[in-house]
Amino acid sequence: MNRATTHRVRLGLAGLGRMGQLHAANLAGRVPSAKLVRVVDADEDVARAAADRLGVQWSTSFDDLLADPELEGVVVATPTPSHAELVARAAAAGKHVFCEKPIANDVEATVRAIEATTEAGVKLQVGFHRRFDPDYAAATARIKAGELGDVYLFRTSLRDKQSPSIHYIAASGGFFVDVTIHDLDTARWLVGEIDEVTAFGAALSDPAFAEIGDVDNAVVALRFATGALGVIDNSRTAGYGYECSTEVMGSKATVRIGHHRRSHTQWLTPGSASVDWVDDFTERYPQAYVLELEDFAAAVRDDRPPAVTGEDALAALTLARACDRSMREGRTVRLSHEQTATEIAYAGREVDRARVR
């Protein structure tokens, strides 16, 4: 077999929390094109325990990852406020980067991080895992092939069973930047560019959300550039389980995406039938989280562009910030965007020319 297709890209991982532990476990055995060699966490006990479990080297210093000359790329799964700096440092050290979403909480830092990777000539992929979910990917392929016809309506729900800690929320960039950003990326991917957002939010489950100026439930109305309409509903506090479901209605067909079951059994008892329901994103998307890292490693190995780019992250962040502004100012926010031969830009270097009216 060709060495180029058997080469396993040597990766390090920073941040071993909810997301990093999942990525590390995947990289240590389920991602054929990658080899995890080092992990880093600010907490020494966490780093050592993960390294022992996974049989890799550990450190509390990101510099130790960057100093390894054999390391080809890094996976950044630290808290959001640290991403942009770590991406830029990794790029300066010549390492390719997979960064969890969002790259940063604000547009300027996102642009600086993207520019750092462009200048260094390294690849940057962002963790919009839904793009690698087999159900979403199959639906998107059929929409893009024209099977749905003209899109009239887009509807999507992303609901967590229970909220992460208020400590996490406080550093997350706010509800739209942390949660809705996934749906905004999905909307762009399935339907196309977005011209208008109108957002409503409320802190309903716990006064702690309002105390830090955030919300725990939200609804966003969208108007796409094609004229199609969309609705996003999001919750941190669904209670019954984790839900991520999407519907796109078109002139020729309607597609519904969303399975939420661990098993395919139904319990039938007098007067009722019940099915099980997933608890969180790790149960809903086991394949997507593996496939996004496999695609990143393959992009590095084969020297091709990643499937989800920094520009995708910038576009979704700009839309998320617009949602936040819409909610706080109580009005619709219009966005302009520019299509170039290779990318769509809402903000940033190209974005200087874009306006949020």
Ligand X SMILES: NC(=O)c1ccc[n+]([C@@H]2O[C@H](COP(=O)([O-])OP(=O)(O)OC[C@H]3O[C@@H](n4cnc5c(N)ncnc54)[C@H](O)[C@@H]3O)[C@@H](O)[C@H]2O)c1
Nearer to ligand X, 321 or 337 (CB): 321
What are the DSSP calls for 205-247, one per residue? S-HHHHHTT--SEEEEEEEETTS-EEEEEEES--SS--EEEEE
Residues 19-78 that bind ligand X (CB under 6 A): 19-20, 40-43, 46, 62, 77-78
Residue among 281, 298, 313, 320 that touches ligand X (CB under 6 A): 281
Applying CB under 6 A, the span of 15-23, 219-227, 261-269, 320-328 interacting with ligand X comes to 15-23
79 lies in the binding site for ligand X (CB under 6 A): yes
Residue ranges in the chain assigned as alpha helix (H): 3-6, 18-27, 44-54, 62-66, 83-92, 107-120, 134-144, 166-170, 175, 181-190, 207-211, 281-284, 286-302, 310-329, 348-351
Nearer to ligand X, 143 or 177 (CB): 177
Nearer to ligand X, 109 or 148 (CB): 109
Distance set, CA 87 to CA 111, 303, 332 (Å)? 11, 19, 33
Smallest gap from Cβ 280 to ligand X, in A, equals 9
Nearer to ligand X, 46 or 222 (CB): 46
Binding mask 151-180 for ligand X (x = CB under 6 A): -----------------x---------x--
Give Cβ neighbours of residue 239 (< 8 Å, ≥ 6 apart).
161, 162
Q: Provide the token pair at 249.
A: 């209605």
Nearer to ligand X, 81 or 192 (CB): 81
Residues paired with residue 219 on neighbouring β-strands, in sequence order: 200, 233
Smallest gap from Cβ 340 to ligand X, in A, equals 27
Output phi, psi for 129, to 5 deg. Answer: -65, -25
Residue among 26, 33, 59, 80 that touches ligand X (CB under 6 A): 80
Residue among 12, 73, 127, 174 that touches ligand X (CB under 6 A): 127
Residue among 38, 96, 129, 284 that touches ligand X (CB under 6 A): 129
Residues 285-324 that bind ligand X (CB under 6 A): none
Beta-sheet pairing, 344-345 with 338-339 = antiparallel
Query: Residue 128 in contact with residue 308, Cβ under 8 Å?
Result: yes
Which residues here bind ligand X, judged by CB under 6 A? 14-20, 40-43, 46, 62, 77-80, 82, 100-101, 127, 129, 168, 178, 281
